[in-house]
Amino acid sequence: MLKKSYFTFIEEPEYAQSNYWLNVIICPDVASRETFIKQTNANEVMTRPIWKLILRLPMFKNAKRGNLSVSEWIESCLVNIPSSPTNNEL
């Protein structure tokens, strides 16, 4: 379903071998990310935004930083998707 969409999957580079612990999708923008998260969770597929950048933590609000536009874009568009095909309820 998603292979022919405007979402991008992160794939392992040829020189590496992923353990696929964390799987993510890059959405084209924040609005599509929010829609994707809402729709997948409504269909019992737990997805969530990627973690916040460390600069968002109160103790780092005044820390020196350079241009983080790429990191901020990734933060706004990345979604964590399940690493397992099963719903492992306890």
pLDDT for 90 equals 47
Q: DSSP assignment of 8-51, as one string?
A: EE----TT-----SSEEEE-SSHHHHHHHHHHHHHTT---EEPP
pLDDT for 36 equals 93
Q: What is the pLDDT of residues 25-77, one digit of tens each?
A: 999 999 999 999 999 999 988 999 998 899 889 999 899 999 999 999 999 99
Percent of the chain scored above 90 by pLDDT?
52
Q: Which CATH superfamily is domain 23-81 in?
A: Aspartate Aminotransferase, domain 1 (3.90.1150.10)
Structure tokens given for 29: 């923008």
State pTM to two decimals: 0.74
